[in-house]
Structure 1
Amino acid sequence: MDARPRVLIHGTGFAGRGHAAAFRWAGADVVGIVGRTASVTDEVAADLGIPYAGTDWQRALEDCRPDIVSIATPGGAHREPIGEAIAFGAHVFCDKPLTDDAASAAQVQEFAQERGVKTAFAASFRYTPSVRHAQELVAAGAIGEPTEVECLSHFNLERGIPFGWSHRKEDGGGRLNNNFTHTLAIVEAVIGDRVSQVAGDVRDDLGRAPIVSGVHNFATRRSFIPEDLTDPTLEWGESNVEWSYTVMARITRTSGAAPVSALFKHGGLVPRFREDHIVFYGTTGAVYLEGHYGSGTLHRWGPDKQWHALPLPAHLARTTPEVEGETEQCWHYLAREFVADIRGEKVEPYPTFREGARYQQIIEIIRASENWTDVSALP
């Protein structure tokens, strides 16, 4: 592979643009982009200065001869292009979810392992500066032995957001795929061990959404919300996936310490009253991160029994990509790690298709909601 690996992007929306910028920043050449609609793909390629644009993925692989492919489409469209990229011999960077179901996620993970290609799974909010700071504090014993984690978020998403992939399970939609994957990755990174047991419940409290044409970029979907949702001429699509979830998890410690219990509570359509947050509690202290992905100010509860806001250490600030947007910042960080690993440089462990496949299996267990005990007959 050349010093500057060649990258082919699959997807022309918000993620496609973000991945292209991330890989360029990481020292790679973005040589092509593929989308569903020729006119949109040509426009994005021209806008980003990408030399090759097309709608045929297999042909693009042959024409561009990439070292890395970046999958930036909705989850329901991941399976085939990932498989074709792995068969071609390219390393694969994929946004979440890995695929739309556990069986196919396991298949692509096993195929990548068989073919010996490297993979990266973009459950990437674990790379916000405050989360990395929390990871260092917990590892250094700043809270003693971890005992409990609380992840709480309420998004108050507009019910009029146009019907699309996020409303459909088969397209990789749902709040578990698009929120829980990040918080689970954050918790496992900070605690340093994997979730070993899980139980949960989900709820689709949306029902339907208006069908509106012209939405090509996930980031701009709100601008397409109809002004009058009572308009009798509107067409509606039915949601078939969760918009809220509650998950309880247990993390078994490889150190032999007592298991850590974790709560993941997310309401996609309900308003917040207090700040969204992630908190790591321990036997001698706690670390509180503001924000739904813990990207805000970090506070520590220490020996003086008080909360104190802590500044970001200089060495973490130096390694944080200077780009606008938390999502983009985290893509940049992961792309840098991925490219460095492909070049043979030493890097810290990062999320791969192994995590992507495991997370999809966990999500299916939660969606089944088979952990209820009937107590209605109790005296």
Structure 2
Amino acid sequence: MSAPLKVLISGTGFAGQGHADAFRGAGAEIVGIVGRTPRVVEEVAEAGGIPYAGTDWDAALAACQPDIVSIATPGGAHYAPIKSAIAAGCHVFCDKPMTESAETAVELRDLAAARGVKTAYAASFRYTPSVLHARQLVAEGAIGEPTEIECISHFNLERAIPFGWSHRREQGGGRLNNNFTHTLSIACALVGDRILNIAGEVRDDLGRAPIVEGVHNFATRRNFIPENLEDPALQWGESNVEWSYTVMAQLESPLADKPVSVLFKHGGLVPRFHEDHIVVYGTAGAIYIKGHYGSGQLFHYGADKQWQAQALPPEIAAGMPEVAGETELCWHYLAREFLRDIQGETVAPYPTFAEGSRDQKIIERLRQNRSWTDVTDLG
């Protein structure tokens, strides 16, 4: 048997540890991890049984000689380590957003293609079991020709979550970067990857957030919300990204004669009344999936005019990684596909830097808020 592929991780938080587990689960060897703070990266490496820990990315590349790098930091910190890794001939697995701008994302896409390295872009919730099931049903004609998709979510995030990268555009923050990337990938997985038209509106309805020291892991940031938000000594940081968006798109589908209309509606700071959901409508039925990323129960509406819960097909269930957590499961699935592709196996298409750079272009267009039509002169 050939030696396992070697992976170097960038990032020590929730995503970094999750990526390490995903690649290990797929059979790779985690040879090193890099972070900003010496104490933190050393603790994470020791806890995870990772032999190399450091704070200098280029030194880690030279010392570890990885086959693959896994980029698990906020999007604003992706460009430099990815560029160095490509130059070193490494394959790159990158969490979303790909970078902080379309310009840098396109540059990295082109550099990877020129260097001949493979890339994976972890807009990965397209791999939840129910989304895979829905994709199979749509392909089998269970709803006729697909006509519409709606992706509705309301996260009700606490407004006092400590100020950090998620509040700043230049650091890869915003709900388009960190929510829309997933739902767009899901819609493309369901009916077709070619996006024809896009329009939308974004809104920063947060404004500011408290500055709090000690926040390291994105998954535990709520634990650092100050008890007294009226404390005059409290400092505040300014948000410059969207916390809500409404986007419409048209996707070309090989399963339909006309473009499929898609509505993406996300409120990051508002409460939900009914469940978040994804629905695919067609000329002969519909598919409803509970959950903002389609990870809940799937229902089919068909000729009997009734919504019927559908069991997950055994072949899909058998192919799912045995891991808790929807985020972790999807990382495991994509990491497994990426490794198989690198090793020369035949795999289904997965998101790459082509999709990642496309998404950054779309996000920049949407943030311009140029989709409005002034009708004040129409009476």
Normalising by the residue count of structure 2, what TM-score does the alignment of the two structures yield?
0.99
Taking only the aligned residue pairs, the percentage that are identical comes to 69
C-alpha separation in 1, matches of 2:261 and 2:205: 27
* Aligned-partner SS, 2:273: coil
* Residue 253 of structure 1, CA deviation: 3.0
- Report the residue type matching 1:370 in the other structure: R
Give 1:356's aligned amino acid. G
Question: What's the counterpart of residue 128 of structure 2?
Answer: 128
User: What amino acid is aligned across from residue 118 of structure 1 in structure 2?
Assistant: K
Task: Return the offset for 1:324.
Answer: 1.0
- Residues 146, 255 of structure 2: 8 Å contact kept: no
Any idea what SS the aligned residue of 2:81 has?
A: helix
2:377 maps to a residue whose letter is A
How do residues 261-340 of structure 1 correspond to structure 2 at under 5 angstroms?
Answer: 261-340=261-340
- Paired residue for 2:96? 96
Q: Secondary structure at the match of 1:214?
A: coil
Contact 1:109 1:357 in 2 (8 A): yes
- Root mean square deviation of aligned Cα: 1.0
- CA distances 1:212-251 after superposition (whole Å, capped 9, x unpaired): 0001100010000111111111100000000000000011
Question: Contact between 2:146 and 2:256, CA under 8 Å: does it hold in 1?
Answer: no
Moved over 6 A (4+): none
Aligned twin of 2:246: 246
C-alpha distance in structure 1 between counterparts of 2:271 and 2:87, whole Å = 45
The aligned residue for residue 70 of structure 2 is: 70
Equivalent-residue separation in structure 2 for 1:193 and 1:2 (angstroms)? 35
SS of aligned partner of 1:232 = coil
CA distance in 2 between counterparts of 1:166 and 1:331 reads 20
Counterpart position of 1:176 = 176
In 1, the alpha carbon distance for the partners of 2:194 and 2:157 equals 30
Determine the C-alpha separation between the residues in 1 that align with 2:119 and 2:266: 29
Q: Give the structure 2 partner of residue 34 of structure 1.
A: 34
Report if the CA contact (8 A) 1:193-1:254 is conserved: no
Q: Deviation of residue 3 (structure 1)?
A: 3.4
In structure 2, what is the equivalent of residue 17 of structure 1? 17
Match of 1:203 in 2: 203
SS in 1 for 2:378: coil
CA distance in 1, matches of 2:195, 2:132: 19
Q: Which stretches in structure 2 are left out of the alignment for 5+ residues? A: none
Q: Secondary structure at the match of 2:340?
A: helix
Aligned residue for 1:346, secondary structure, equals coil
For 1:289 and 1:136, locate their aligned partners in 2 and report how far apart those are by CA, in whole Å. 14
Distance 1:155 1:255 in 2: 32
Asked if residue 349 in structure 1 is aligned to residue 349 in structure 2, the reply is yes
Q: Is the 8 A contact 1:203 1:243 kept in 2?
A: yes
Q: What does residue 112 of structure 1 align with?
A: 112
Q: Which residue of 2 aligns with 1:362?
A: 362
Within 1, Cα distance between the matches of 2:317 and 2:191? 22
Code of the aligned partner of 2:333: Y
Q: Which moved more, 1:62-71 or 1:248-257?
A: 248-257
SS in 2 for 1:234: coil
Deviation per residue, 1:304-331 (Å, 9 max, x gap): 0000000101111111111111000000
**Distance across 2 between alignment mates of 1:23 and 1:255:** 34
Cα distance in structure 1, aligned partners of 2:275 and 2:25: 33
Q: Kindly tell me the number of residue pairs found equivalent between the two proteins.
A: 379
Distance (whole Å) between structure 1 residues aligned to residue 144 and residue 28 of structure 2: 41
CA contact (8 A) 1:101 1:360 kept: yes
- Looking at structure 1, the residues matched to 88 and 2 of structure 2 have their Cα atoms a distance apart, in angstroms, of 17
Judge conservation of contact 1:102–1:357 (CA < 8 Å) in 2.
yes
Matched residue type, 2:205: D
CA contact (8 A) 1:71 1:92 kept: yes
Q: How far apart are 1:256 and its partner, in Å?
A: 6.3
SS at match of 1:16: helix
- 1:283-320 deviation digits (Å, cap 9, x = unpaired): 00000000000110000001100000001011111111
Equivalent-residue separation in structure 1 for 2:16 and 2:276 (angstroms): 28
